[in-house]
């Protein structure tokens, strides 16, 4: 058995198997009737699935840049072309940032593990800044092309409120945009 794996067998569990991360270990839940060989096979399968799921939820910089280009194509007509897109750990009060002059986009590592549609929203928001630097009506009209913009914005506001984090300085512009029906 690989290190840091805890196997929990249950006589009530008949057919289902599952695994989840608990700190630095992986807990594998199995029916008690499985043989040792079946247990080892399921552990390998479940560890592979867990690793793949975690990889998808924590894309690399290259994955992030590929995703940004796809989102630009799909929602902004391919007009926003970043020179680089990467994760950064030094953003404590923002989800992302963009420097339109050099085309760089940075996303906070706090977004890692959040649903993909939320990360996509932040990418679209920053891509829109490559086309419109401020948070005016033109900017919010671009962001509104992303169909889950309002939902993702609410998700991020909830995360920020639960963690008692300040919302970024575009909130006043967002509220103004929502009042005028242009924000997503």
- pLDDT given at position 51: 83
Please give the residue that has the higher pLDDT: either 122 or 56: 122
Query: In the predicted model, is pLDDT for residue 57 greater than 70?
Result: no
Entry pTM:
0.66
- Residue 19: strand pairing partners: 28
Distances (CA, A) of 43 to 27, 36, 49, 55, 121: 10, 10, 10, 18, 35
Q: What is the pLDDT of residues 135-175, one digit of tens each?
A: 999 999 999 999 999 999 999 999 988 887 765 544 444 44
């Amino acid at each position: 058995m690989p290190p840091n794996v805890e196997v929990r067998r249950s006589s009530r569990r008949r057919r289902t198997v599952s695994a989840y991360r608990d700190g630095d270990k992986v807990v594998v839940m199995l029916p008690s009737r499985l043989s040792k060989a079946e247990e080892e096979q399921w552990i390998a399968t479940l560890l592979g699935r867990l690793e793949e799921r975690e990889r998808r939820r924590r894309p690399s910089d290259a994955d992030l840049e590929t995703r940004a280009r796809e989102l630009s194509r799909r929602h902004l007509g391919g007009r926003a072309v970043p020179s680089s897109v990467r994760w950064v750990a030094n953003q404590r009060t923002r989800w992302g940032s963009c420097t339109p002059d050099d085309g760089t986009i940075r996303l906070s590592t706090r977004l890692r593990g959040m649903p993909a549609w939320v990360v996509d929203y932040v990418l679209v928001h920053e891509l829109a800044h490559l086309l419109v630097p401020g948070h005016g009506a033109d900017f919010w009209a671009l962001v509104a092309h992303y169909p889950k913009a309002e939902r993702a914005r609410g998700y991020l506001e909830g995360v920020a409120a639960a963690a008692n984090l300040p919302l970024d300085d575009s909130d006043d512009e967002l509220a103004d945009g929502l009042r005028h029906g242009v924000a997503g």
